[in-house]
Amino acid sequence: MISKADTLGTFQIESRAQMSMLPRMKPRRFYDLVIQVAIVRPGPIQGDMVHPYLRRREGLEKPEYPRPELRAVLEKTLGVPLFQEQAMKVAIVGAGFTPAEADQLRRAMATFKFTGGVSHFSEKLIGGMVERGYPREFAERTFRQLEGFGSYGFPESHAASFAKISYASSWVKHHHPDVFCASLMNAQPMGFYAPAQIVRDAREHGVVVRPPCVNASRWDCTLEQYGGRYLAVRLGLRQIRGLSNADGAKIVGARELTAFESVEDVWRRSGVQRAVIEKLADGDAFHSFGADRRQGLWKVRGLGEAPLPLFAAADRADQAVSAEGIEPEVALRPLTDGREVIEDYRALQLSLRAHPLAFVRDELARRGVTKCADLATIRDGRHVEVAGIILVRQKPGSAKGVLFITIEDETGIANGILWPDRFERQRRTVMSASMIGMKGRVQKEGEVIHVICDRIIDHGDLLHRVGEMSFPHRTGRGDGAKHAGSPDRGDKGWSPGPRNCYWPPHADGMDAEAVVKFKSHDFH
pLDDT tens, position by position, 74-97: 899 998 888 888 888 888 988 899
Q: Residue 515: its pLDDT value, please?
A: 45
- Sorting pLDDT into bands at 50, 70 and 90, what band is 499? very low
Q: Residue 279: its pLDDT value, please?
A: 96
- How high is the mean pLDDT of the chain? 82
The domains found in the chain, sorted by start residue, are: 42-153 (no CATH), 176-319 (1.10.150), 356-514 (2.40.50.140)
Lowest-confidence region among 339-348, 386-395, 459-468: 459-468
Peptide bond before 68: cis, by omega within 30 degrees of 0?
A: no
For range 104-127, the mean pLDDT: 70
- Sorting pLDDT into bands at 50, 70 and 90, what band is 211? very high
3-state secondary structure (DSSP) of residue 507:
coil
pLDDT tens, position by position, 320-335: 444 444 556 667 788 8
Of 153 and 517, more confident? 153
Q: Tally the C-alpha atoms within 13 A of residue 191's C-alpha that lie toward its C-beta.
A: 23
Q: Residue 479: its pLDDT value, please?
A: 62
pLDDT tens, position by position, 261-295: 999 999 999 999 999 999 999 999 999 999 999 99
Q: Give the whole-angstrom CA distance, residue 495 versus residue 226.
A: 47
- Sorting pLDDT into bands at 50, 70 and 90, what band is 246? very high
Residue 101, pLDDT above cutoff 70: yes
Q: Give the whole-angstrom CA distance, residue 148 versus residue 72.
A: 22
Q: Residue 255: its pLDDT value, please?
A: 95
pTM: 0.81
Top mean pLDDT of 252-261, 469-478, 484-493 is at 252-261
Among residues of the chain, what percentage have pLDDT more than 70?
79
- Sorting pLDDT into bands at 50, 70 and 90, what band is 122? confident
Top mean pLDDT of 134-138, 139-143, 259-263, 492-496 is at 259-263
